[in-house]
Amino acid sequence: MGVEQHKDLLGSIGVDVERHAKMMGAGLEAYKAQFLGQPNRPKGMAYFDWFMSEIQGQRIAEINQLRAEKKPAVGTFCIFVPEEIVIGAGGACYGLCGGSNATIADAETELPRNICPLIKSAHGFKLQRTCAYTQSSDFIYGETTCEAKKKAWEILAKHHPVHVMNIPHMKREKDLKMWTEEIKEFKEHIEAVTEKKLSLNEMKEGVRKVNAKRSALQRLDRLRGMNPDIMPISGKDALFITQIGFMDDIERYTQKVNELCDELEERVKNQESVFPKDTPRLMVLGTPFAPPNWKLHTAVETTGGCVINEESCIGHRYFKDNVDIEDAQSDDELYARLMTRYAKIDCACFTPNTGRIDKIVQMYKERQADGVIYYTLSFCHTYNVESHLVLEAMQKEGIPCLVIESDYSPEDAGQIKTRVEAFLESITFKKKAQAFASK
Ligand code: BJ8
């Protein structure tokens, strides 16, 4: 199967079929080159490899089948969008393409050059009509997290229906009250698509499914990062699984992640690691890694390190908290529970955001990591500025830290690799010195 077999469908939703096929071909080649040659991959990765081959094929057919049944299809760029409501309505809520360099030149015909590559890439996908997820969306749900995104929605709305959710930048009571109203309004947008009221029980069912998905990812996170001597899966594979979670059918995905975790549990029991025992174990902090942005993980894991966690929205920040709904008796109560959960997201768009720093230190200690890489996309002011406070805290705790600012172009891949290599060498030296001193 794959894109070729779904040409008619792709054409019918406005995809530029020829350009899309070329781009998918290049994406699959990059995936094969960077993923399939990794040694001793878990067998459970076969499903995620298959999904990659159908990422813009069968999955798009599934989403359009839902639309034919009047179920909502909502594209997003942020983990603040309450997907529980879309899932409760039987629909699909997914992340849109925004991790490729190939669409940036087109985007720069409408957007300034000096804004974050994620926003430009996503905008370019729409202009090129090369993201089948965008083309399948009833609407795109934007948010007011950062300045560039907030203004880019106004331009994107010329090309596709866009709703914008007002996310406050502080977490005072009055801000949270407004936020709860925004969640309610989101539900009303979904009801407008389905032309049907969404019941409390349906919303609760949506929450249960999303909770199960997040729990599966929490399990994967523990298995990959909490055993200092055993890394049963590479960081790059774990990142890819998390990336796919923003596109796949929720129940199938949850089942496949749990099946993979069963296998990883066996590996941990049998002391089967994909990296040698003393491999430096790094956490990556910062902005999201939209596929196919695998540059940093590839650099780390081809120079003798491994990534054991992403403190990122395509990572821990997405799955760390579930929604508590068990005794929620009314729609209003459910909105409040959703808001409570979503307000725990420690995105750098908030001020103050000290909880993020505490969480990083806690995660670092729990995982007995060896260092962190603070990663920001170029021109992401919130994460870039916040890095000052994070670095200060890292220094205070004696945590080795490397800062990398990058975009989607392949040009700096060599330079990143060299810097990561030097960082890993310094960590290895420090570990050896510590071991020697303790003798
Ligand atoms: S909750 S991190 S997904 S806003 S990287 S577009 S912030 S300039 S992606 Fe984000 Fe939601 Fe926050 Fe997460 Fe702007 Fe920065 Fe670009 Fe960003």
- CB distance 135 to ligand 1 below 6 Å: no
Give every CB contact of residue 255 below 8 A, 6+ residues apart in sequence: none
Distance separating alpha carbons of residues 239 and 154, to the nearest angstrom:
31
DSSP code for 400: -
Distance separating alpha carbons of residues 424 and 402, to the nearest angstrom:
10
Cα of 78 vs centre of ligand 1, distance in Å, is 7
159, exposed or middle or buried, with CB in 10 Å at 0-12, 13-18, 19+? middle
The three-class DSSP label of residue 211 is: helix
DSSP code for 249: -
Give every CB contact of residue 29 below 8 A, 6+ residues apart in sequence: none
What pairs with residue 310 in β-bridges? Answer: 284
Q: What is the pLDDT of residue 186?
A: 97
Residue whose CA is at the smallest distance from ligand 1 atom 10:
78
DSSP code for 276: -
Ligand 1 pocket mutation pick from 287, 293, 375, 384 by most atoms within 8 angstroms of CB: 287
CB 287 within 8 A of CB 376: yes
Distance separating alpha carbons of residues 313 and 133, to the nearest angstrom:
19
CB 35 within 8 A of CB 291: no
- CB distance 79 to ligand 1 below 6 Å: yes
Nearest atom, ligand 1, residue 146 CA: 14
What pairs with residue 372 in β-bridges? Answer: 283, 401
Cα of 382 vs centre of ligand 1, distance in Å, is 8
Cα of 228 vs centre of ligand 1, distance in Å, is 31
CB 122 within 8 A of CB 77: yes
**Residue ranges of the chain whose pLDDT lies below 70:** 1-2
Give every CB contact of residue 66 below 8 A, 6+ residues apart in sequence: 72, 73, 90, 91, 92
The three-class DSSP label of residue 372 is: strand
Amino acid letter for position 121: S
- CB distance 96 to ligand 1 below 6 Å: no
Sheet holding 401-406, edge to edge: 306-311, 281-286, 371-377, 401-406
- CB distance 111 to ligand 1 below 6 Å: no
Distance separating alpha carbons of residues 282 and 102, to the nearest angstrom:
29
